[in-house]
Amino acid sequence: MPLRARQRCHAVLTGLVALASAAVLSTAPPAFAADTWTEAGSDRADPLTESQGLTSVEVPAGSPNRYTGIGTIPMSVSSRGWNHVGDPDASYDGYYIEPYQADSGSAKMFRVQAPGGAWSEYVHTLSGGEALNNSWVAITPAGQWMLAGEYGTMNRLLVFPTPGVNPGTSPSANLPQASTVRLDHAVRDVQGCDFSGPTTLLCSSDDPAGTLFGMTKPLLQIDLSAQPGSSDVTGHVTALRQLPLRSGCSGTFEAEGVDYDRRTGTLRVIVLSPGFCILTDSKTYRFTRS
């Protein structure tokens, strides 16, 4: 994905971003027949540490939710060029994975924390035609396979063996793409996905145009023909609703990461506010199925 959110945060913090209009936007989500998720509340999203993604963690019991942002990237990682982190995920047995990208090059990186706390890095060399950006990861409920996404207008999702979990992976070897999810409808600027069931994904799209589904910034559902693995599967895409776009500033919002907590049935999505308000009223919205 482009580094817009990171650049906006830096600009605001250094005083280079002017105050946006004081006019308040109060854009309520439109009603659609397919809308099955109801807004249930929100929490402020810190632009430094909660601006890219989030995930609920089940192991060990009582673990807090985890977030990513420009302020969560260790210096030891960014100094080697991995200067953008995307939407993370955690497996049901306690492995935590963050997707990383660099400004240029021919690889992307997945940073893995094992349940015991040790970190390791798995690098994937780009396949022919694969985009450099590494926007998100979603670990399958069974744990052995992991989906990842490219930015832009895409008709596919990428499938990898889950690094650190799948026995066929090693930090010392290239992490290969295992298969592809072939979508029946193009998606644009997907910033995060999470499994809500064995073959169902919920995804946040930062689509600014609205031409694909008749709305900007949609919440998407992707129903897979089978559980992902070493063979390609298909995915049926449905736009469920527009994400909330409310702020004390006018301008362009940015939809970011998504998390589905199966313990509570709560869906959470980060939406960054325009201009200076990225600091004051960016939100992590909570939804429940209605």
pLDDT at residue 21 above 90?
A: no
> What is the distance between the alpha carbons of residues 118 and 102, in angstroms, rounded to a whole number?
23
Which range has the worst mean pLDDT, 10-19, 40-49, 69-78, 92-101? 10-19
Phi-psi category of 94—alpha, beta or left, where left has phi over 0 and alpha has psi -120 to 50? Answer: left
Instruction: Identify the pLDDT of residue 2.
Output: 54
Torsion of CA 198, 199, 204, 210, to 10 degrees: -170
Domains of the chain: 4-289 (2.120.10)
- Give the model's confidence band at 4: pLDDT under 50 very low, under 70 low, under 90 confident, else very high: low
Other residues' Cβ atoms within 10 Å of the Cβ of residue 150: 21
Mean pLDDT of the chain: 90
- Looking at residue 13, its pLDDT comes to 40
Structure tokens at 289: 């199925």
Q: Which helix (H) or strand (E) holds 26?
A: strand 25-27
- Mean pLDDT across the stretch 115-128? 97
Which tokens in the block code for residue 90?
A: 């955690």
Higher pLDDT, 33 or 124: 124
pTM for the model stands at 0.89
Tokens 């982190």 -> residue:
85
